[in-house]
Amino acid sequence: MSAPILPLIRQPRVQRVLYPALVAVVLLGAWQALVVGMELPPYLVPSPWLMLKTLISDWAVLGSALLVTLEITLLAFVVATVAGVLISFLFVQSKLIETALFPYAVLLQVTPIVAVAPLIIIWVKNPTAAMVICASLVALFPIISNTTLGLRSIDPDLQSYFRMNRATRWQMLVRLRIPSALPYFFGGLRISSGLSLIGAVVAEFVAGTGGTGAGLAYQILQAGFRLNIPRMFAALLLISLTGVALFAAMAWLTRRALGSWHASESSHE
């Protein structure tokens, strides 16, 4: 049923962008109408239009703040990924190691980062490094748990087949364990990318670093003190957009890396 008129709208790809966009237009329209209609002052709720204008007029401040937050987020994401993968490989070497260390991974996960961040910021001189450490700690756990699970979830028959063909430990790892773990690993990446951003924002709040190294969270704090609510909203918008962009990047990366073989990727479309 490919009608010549409106063939685009039938495509799932177009629908996936179009429908959320329509919701956004409706919501923003309602927001704008409410603010204008009820004559709400900008220091309580700015209109979306004002928010956009502030974003452009304050871009010098907000743009550089965005770069700082992005830097911390991405560094933390990389550190968490590398450390998480290494720890997972350590865990699957022996059940003993995992049993001994896994509770501490959980401990890291359940301890609120806001409570630990002041300590880290005192201990680590370099503020950027301190914030990266905080954000990595937040993002670490999903990588560890997912990758460990993935490295362990091997088809037992396939494992027998490798053993029967006298596969070495290395062959087993490269040809069986790692490919089997990839879907789980990418699932972990998707969660951790968002957590890195959350971790970075929390770390910035706690560190409260101003000056040239100020990130978006600091701008939100400052704007709050000065009742510059439009700028606060603009900074908030940038953080949300960053999170969405990270998620989209991870989804794209997962599709590229896994192609069509894995069920979680092939059954969607």
Quote the least distance from Cβ 185 to other proteins, whole Å: 13
263: contact with other proteins by CB under 8 A = yes
Q: Is 160 in the site for other proteins (CB under 8 A)?
A: yes
Is 163 a binder of other proteins (CB under 8 A)?
Answer: yes
* 15-23, 27-35, 65-73, 258-266 -> range binding other proteins (CB under 8 A): 258-266
Site membership for other proteins, residue 182 (CB under 8 A): yes
Cα–Cα distance measured from residue 165 to residue 163, given in angstroms and rounded to the nearest whole number: 5
**Residue type at position 33:** A
* CB 179 within 8 Å of CB 206: no
Tally Cβ neighbours within 10 Å of residue 236. Answer: 16
- 90 makes contact with other proteins (CB under 8 A): no
Phi/psi for 134 (5° steps) reads: -55, -50
Show the CA angle centred on residue 71, arms to residues 214 and 231, nearest 5°: 40
Of 13-21, 36-44, 169-177, 185-193, the window that binds other proteins (rule: CB under 8 A) is 169-177
Interacting residue with other proteins among 5, 60, 96, 164 (CB under 8 A): 164
| Among the residue ranges 47-55, 184-192, 215-223, 255-263, the one whose residues contact other proteins (CB under 8 A) | 255-263
List 176, 214, 234, 235, residue binding other proteins (CB under 8 A)? 176
Q: Scanning residues 36 to 55, which ones bind other proteins (CB under 8 A)?
A: none
| Minimum distance of other proteins from residue 167's CB (angstroms) | 5
Should residue 179 be labelled a site residue for other proteins when binding is judged by CB under 8 A? yes
Query: What is the rounded CA–CA span in Å between residue 202 and residue 34?
Result: 32
The two tokens of residue 185 are 């690993």
Among 126, 155, 244, 264, binds other proteins (CB under 8 A): 155
Nearer to other proteins, 43 or 261 (CB): 261
Determine if 16 is a binding residue for other proteins (CB under 8 A).
no
Q: Round to whole Å and give the CA distance between 20 and 6.
A: 18
Q: Does 169 bind other proteins (CB under 8 A)?
A: no
Distance of CA 50 to the CA centre of its chain: 28
24 is a contact residue toward other proteins (CB under 8 A): no
Choice from 125, 166, 256, 268 touching other proteins (CB under 8 A): 166
2 three-class SS: coil
Q: Report the SS3 class of residue 69.
A: helix
Cα angle at 19 between 14 and 22, to 5 degrees? Answer: 120
Residue closer to other proteins (CB basis): 51 or 181: 181
CA gap 66, 153 in Å, rounded: 39
Cα separation values, 92 from 106, 176, 183, Å: 16, 13, 17
Enumerate binding residues for other proteins (CB under 8 A): 155, 157-158, 160-167, 171, 175-176, 179, 182, 258-263, 266
